[in-house]
Homo-oligomer: A and B are copies of this chain.
Amino acid sequence: MKVGILGGGQLGRMLLQAAANYTVETFVLENDANCPSAHLCHHFTKGDITDFETVYHFGKNLDAITIEIESVNVDALDKLEKEGVKIYPTPAAIRIIKNKIIQKQFYKEHGIPSSDFIITNNKEDLKTNTHLLPAVHKIGEGGYDGKGVQVINSISDIEKAFDAPSVLEQKVAIQKEIALIVAINEKGATAIYPVSEMMVNPVLNLLDYQLSPALIPEKALWVVEAVAIKLVKALNSPGLFAVELFIDKNEEVWVNETAPRVHNSGHHTIEANHCSQYDMLWRIILGYPLGNTSPILPAAIINIIGTDNYSGDAIYEGLEEVLQIDNAFVHLYGKKQTKPGRKMGHVTLLHNNYQDLTHKANKVKNLLKVKS
The interface residues of chain B lying within 8 Å CB-to-CB of A17 are 17, 20-21
Beta-carbon contact of A289 and B23 below 8 Å? no
The interface residues of chain B lying within 8 Å CB-to-CB of A327 are 274, 292
In the bound assembly, the distance between CA atoms of A26 and B334 in angstroms comes to 12
Mask, A317-351, CB within 8 Å of B = 1, is 00110011011011110100000000000000010
Beta-carbon contact of B22 and A288 below 8 Å? no
Beta-carbon contact of B323 and A283 below 8 Å? yes
Q: A23-B316, A296-B296 are in contact. List 16 more A-B contacts (CB 8 A).
A: A13-B20, A17-B17, A17-B21, A20-B334, A21-B329, A21-B332, A22-B332, A23-B314, A39-B40, A40-B40, A283-B323, A287-B320, A288-B320, A288-B323, A289-B320, A292-B326
Mask, A282-316, CB within 8 Å of B = 1, is 01000111011000100000000000000000101
In the bound assembly, the distance between CA atoms of A14 and B319 in angstroms comes to 23
Considering only CB atoms, which chain B residue lies closest to A321 in the complex?
Answer: B289
In the bound assembly, the distance between CA atoms of A41 and B275 in angstroms comes to 24
Considering only CB atoms, which chain B residue lies closest to A326 in the complex?
Answer: B292
The interface residues of chain B lying within 8 Å CB-to-CB of A326 are 292
Say whether A271 faces chain B, with CB atoms less than 8 Å apart: yes
| Contact A288/B41 with A17-B20, A23-B332, A274-B327 known, Cβ cut-off 8 Å | no
Say whether A42 faces chain B, with CB atoms less than 8 Å apart: yes
In the bound assembly, the distance between CA atoms of A320 and B271 in angstroms comes to 24
In the bound assembly, the distance between CA atoms of A287 and B22 in angstroms comes to 31
Question: What number of copies of this chain does the assembly contain?
Answer: 2
Beta-carbon contact of A274 and B41 below 8 Å? no
State the Cβ distance, A35 to closest chain B Cβ, in Å.
Answer: 13
In the bound assembly, the distance between CA atoms of A279 and B327 in angstroms comes to 12
The interface residues of chain B lying within 8 Å CB-to-CB of A316 are 23
The interface residues of chain B lying within 8 Å CB-to-CB of A319 are 288
In the bound assembly, the distance between CA atoms of A70 and B21 in angstroms comes to 24
State the Cβ distance, A292 to closest chain B Cβ, in Å.
Answer: 5
In the bound assembly, the distance between CA atoms of A340 and B287 in angstroms comes to 27
State the Cβ distance, A38 to closest chain B Cβ, in Å.
Answer: 9
Beta-carbon contact of B350 and A274 below 8 Å? yes
In the bound assembly, the distance between CA atoms of A332 and B18 in angstroms comes to 11
The interface residues of chain B lying within 8 Å CB-to-CB of A332 are 21-23
Q: Which 9 A-B pairs have the closest CB atoms?
A: A39-B42, A289-B324, A288-B323, A289-B323, A23-B332, A17-B17, A21-B331, A17-B20, A292-B326
State the Cβ distance, A69 to closest chain B Cβ, in Å.
Answer: 19
20 contacts between A and B (CB under 8 A): A14-B20, A17-B17, A20-B40, A20-B334, A21-B332, A22-B330, A23-B316, A23-B332, A23-B334, A26-B39, A39-B40, A39-B41, A40-B40, A271-B274, A274-B350, A275-B329, A287-B320, A289-B323, A289-B324, A296-B296
Considering only CB atoms, which chain B residue lies closest to A324 in the complex?
Answer: B289
In the bound assembly, the distance between CA atoms of A172 and B16 in angstroms comes to 44
The interface residues of chain B lying within 8 Å CB-to-CB of A331 are 21
Among A21, A22, A327, A329, max chain B CB count under 10 A is at: A21
The interface residues of chain B lying within 8 Å CB-to-CB of A324 are 289
The interface residues of chain B lying within 8 Å CB-to-CB of A26 are 39
The interface residues of chain B lying within 8 Å CB-to-CB of A271 are 274
In the bound assembly, the distance between CA atoms of A326 and B16 in angstroms comes to 23
State the Cβ distance, A134 to closest chain B Cβ, in Å.
Answer: 41
Q: Which residues in chain A, 249-300, are within 8 Å of chain B measured between CB atoms?
A: 271, 274-275, 279, 283, 287-289, 291-292, 296
The interface residues of chain B lying within 8 Å CB-to-CB of A288 are 319-320, 323
